[in-house]
Structure formats: C-alpha cells, structure tokens
Amino acid sequence: MTLTLPAPAKINLYLSVTRIRDDGMHDLDTAFAFSQACDTLHFQAAETISVTCSRPHLGGEANLVHRVLSALRDRHNIRQGLSVHIEKSIPEQAGLGGGSSDAATALLAANKLWQTGLTREELIAFATPFGADIPCFLYGQASIASGVGDRLHPYPDPLPDTTMLLAWPGSGLSTARVFEHFDRTHPALTTHQGVDTMRAGIHQMGHNDLEEAACSMNKSMACLLEELRNCSDIAWMSGSGSACIALFQQAEQACETAQVLQARQLAGWTHTGSICSTHPVQL
C-alpha cells in the first residue's frame, strides 16, 4: 500500500493581532488561502511510525508529522504504523505553514488509511494543540480565522484573479521571536492591569500587524519586500515571515520579477501561480 499526497503552502491575506491571552498566546483576526506551491508526502504501510525528509535535519521523531501521527495512533489504539517520506519544497520559517501543512496532510492520509472515520471538525479539535496553523489546512477552503487560528469560517469574498509571486529571502524568522518583538513595541496590548487588551482587526488585504517587527529583525526580508512593492501595486508579508507575497495582473511580469529577485540575490526561493480557494486534499 502506497499513497502520495500534496501539502500546500498557505498565505495570510491579512493578519491582525487582537489580544494577548493569559496563557501568553495571541488571538488573531486573519484570513487564509492556499498556494500551488506544495511539499509532497509519500506514505507506505508499516508496523511503526517513521518519518524521513529530503532535508534530513527535519526527519525523525521531532518532526510534527511524527508527533501528530503518534498521538492519533495512541488515542485510537491503532495497531498499524506508517512510513512517511516528505519531499520539501516550501522553505522553513517562511510564514507559509510548511510543517503544519505536512502534519495536516498526514492526518488526512492516516484518517483514510487507518479508517478512523474522524470528521473534519474532530480532526481540527485533535490537531489544534499541536500547532495553530494546522486547522486552516484541515478546514480545506479559504477561511477567516479568529482565536489562535482555530475558529474558522469560509472566506466570504472572491479571491484575486491575478498571478501571485511568493518570494523568500533565503533566511527565516522564528514565529515566537517575531511575536515577542511585536509585544515589546505594543505595550498596551501586553499590559494586563488596567488596560483593555482588545483591539479591532484590520481586514484589508495586504495588512499584516507583524510586518514591522519582522522587517526590523530580518533586513534581507525588508529589502525583498521593498523591491516587491516597487514592482507590484500590492505586496505584503505572510504570517510571521519571512516569505512575501506580490500580486500581478500578468503572469509574465510575475515570472520576470522572480528572475530578477533571484539574479540580484534578493530571494533564495520563488514561486509563481494562482491563489487557491481549496486544499488539494479533501476529506
């Protein structure tokens, strides 16, 4: 038995931090869609769970795929295992949810291969403690999200009918460190005594509350984003960075810009394609 499935990159259409919670997590007001850029996961029947990766340092028991599959197997007393090999295409620490996407695709595969029969809602509830981005992949369609990213509803507006360029500067950003920097520069949001910590979200496509913090931490990303804004009417950062998004009316212009970014060493990875409203793997 073998199965091969894609694990797509996500993009944040916008992202606002609305509150810091008592547990230190951040409530968000954000929207998700999918990219045609994908990792590829290969599954084989096995007696135990094992995970290997085309980037060897990402394989093993520490990989999120191994952790979620082991937990699912234990919870449902499943005797079978799975051997998983991940072909990585999505860059690391990019704000594109690569590891979370791999975990979501692995859960969708295991739900089918192990015949656990879990609903989408049950999978989301199970997966949320393992990572705030996993639910958006399991939800399976463009969405708006609140809470830590686990309260999801369909995205109500049409997605842009344009070509999207994703560009990563070649260096990543720690999500935790970006949020820490954001918290230091927004004391009203992080002061609990006597201060209302709620703030309204901004739903404008291309808005990202974390962008200023990320740019100050990663100058390569700041230069990349500046160049994208010179080439496109709208460009912004996805998630907590460091990948950036730009939209183009013409596919040729997007491809030419990607080539220029690579030639000038402003980007270590690029992808051009459409913004997708649905996940390529449906429950």
CA 107 to chain centroid: 16
Give burial (CB, 10 Å; 0-12/13-18/19+) of 76: middle
Let me know how long the chain is.
283
Which residues contact residue 196 at a Cβ distance below 8 angstroms, ignoring those fewer than 6 apart?
none
Structure tokens at 205: 């496509």
CB contact at 8 A, 88 and 53: yes
Q: Is residue 10 flagged as an active site residue?
A: yes
- CA atoms of 170 and 68, how far apart (whole Å): 28
Q: Vertex 104, ends 9 and 170: CA angle to 5°?
A: 30
CB contact at 8 A, 232 and 141: no
- How many CB atoms lie under 10 A from the CB of residue 194? 5
Under DSSP, is residue 142 helix (H, G, I), strand (E, B) or coil? coil
Q: Which of 10, 29, 39, 209 is catalytic?
A: 10
What type of residue is 123? L
- CA atoms of 186 and 203, how far apart (whole Å): 19
- CA atoms of 157 and 97, how far apart (whole Å): 22
Q: Which of 27, 39, 102, 133 is catalytic?
A: 133
Sheet harboring 163-168: ordered strands across? 235-237, 244-248, 163-168, 269-273
Task: Give the residue numbers marked as catalytic.
Answer: 10, 133
